[in-house]
Amino acid sequence: MPKPTHPKVIIREIPPKKVAVIKFSGFFNEANLADKTAELKAWLAQKSLTSLSQPRSAGYNPPWTLPFLRRNEIHIERIE
């Protein structure tokens, strides 16, 4: 891994963890985030999996990407 050139950039190792993820396309807005978070939480409950974290969201595309081509995700750390 290359050494960071900016002094505020820190590289650290993160231990492995299990994460439940749901991906979706479309706009990265509060309504979609709430809907997909509820869907992921319902799936975790159906599978009797315990959440370890608050949901986190990730959006991967620039704003000019067409909504149907966008990739977004909700992540929740979990245990079995």
pTM of the complete model: 0.78
Q: Is the pLDDT of residue 19 over 90?
A: yes
Calpha distance 24→29 (Å, rounded):
12
Calpha distance 70→64 (Å, rounded):
10
Calpha distance 26→77 (Å, rounded):
23
Sort residue 48 into left (φ over 0), alpha (ψ -120 to 50) or beta. left
Residue 40: per-residue pLDDT: 95
DSSP state of 37: H
Residues 23-78 have pLDDT tens digits of 999 988 899 999 999 999 999 999 999 999 999 999 999 989 999 999 999 999 98
Residue 14: per-residue pLDDT: 87
